[in-house]
Amino acid sequence: MRGDLVECTVKSPVALQLGDVVTDSVRPGVYITDVVLATPVNIQEISFKNYYTAYLTVRVLKNEEGSDERSAKWFTCVRNYGLMSSPHTEGGSQDYFSIYRQQMLTEPDNVITVRLILRQPSSVWLNFNIEDIKIFSLAEEESERDVSSWLSTITPAKEPFDLNGLPDPDTVSSTIQHMWALTEIMQSSQTSASIGRFDMLLSEVRPNTGQASGCSKT
C-alpha cells in the first residue's frame, strides 16, 4: 500500500567513463544519480519516467536497526532492470515505470540515500537519463490492527445442540423412504372400478365348496 510522497533531493548525474574525461570523446555508457532523503524512510515505491536508459540498477544506503549513520551500508535492491525492449530500438525509451518493494532483493527500510545506476550500451542514442523521480513511503499497516481488534469482538459461535436421546437421523430417513415407497405401491395398485355394498356382502357369505353352483331337486 502506497504511503506519502517522500521529500528528497535528486543530485545531478555523474558519468562513469574510462580514459581521460577531457580528451576522450567516446560517450559514457553509465550514469549514476543519487537521491538523498530528508529522513530515513521505509520505501514502498520508486517511480520515474525513462529517457533512453536501457538498464537500471538500484542501490540503497540504509541504517541497520539500532545503529547510527556512520555504520550505514549499501545494499543492491534491483540489478540490471530492463527498461527498453532492446537498447537499439525505441520500445520503452520514454515510458513511465514503478518499482515496488516486493520486486526488490532486500527490504528498503531505514533508507537515507537511493543510488540509481543507469546503463545504455547502445551508441545509437546521444543522451540517456531518467526523469520525474518520485519515492513513496510504506504506509502504516493500520488495517492489520483493525482486523485484529475486529476479530476480538466477534461473538463466539454457539455450541451445537445436544442430540442425546433423539433417534438416529439415518434410521429416521430410511424409515420415511420406506413408507413413501409403500404409499406409491398402494396408490398404483388401486382399481378404478367401484364395488357395491351387495357385492361385498355376497362375497363374505358365499360358501367355498369347490363345486359349480346349481339348483338341487329333492
pLDDT for the residue 207: 52
Return the H-helix or E-strand segment holding 15.
Answer: strand 14-16
Mean pLDDT value across residues 22-51: 86
pLDDT for the residue 64: 73
**Full 3-state SS string of 180-195:** HHHHHHHHHHCCCCCC
Q: What span, in angstroms and rounded, lies between the C-alpha atoms of 100 and 107?
A: 10
pTM above 0.75, yes or no: no
Cα 205 to chain centroid distance, Å, stands at 86
Return the H-helix or E-strand segment holding 151.
Answer: helix 142-152
pLDDT for the residue 139: 87
Amino acid at 14: V
Cα angle 207, 210, 211; round to 5: 95
What cell does 1 get?
500500500
Q: What span, in angstroms and rounded, lies between the C-alpha atoms of 36 and 42?
A: 14
What's the CATH number for 2-16+36-140? 2.60.120.260
Q: What span, in angstroms and rounded, lies between the C-alpha atoms of 200 and 204?
A: 7
What cell does 125 get?
542514442
pLDDT for the residue 71: 80
Query: Sheet containing 43-51: which strands, arranged edge to edge?
Result: 2-5, 129-138, 43-51, 96-100
pLDDT in tens, 121-146: 998 998 999 999 999 999 876 445 54
pLDDT in tens, 165-174: 666 666 766 6
Amino acid at 102: Q
Tracing cell 553509465 back to the chain, one arrives at 30
Tracing cell 567513463 back to the chain, one arrives at 17
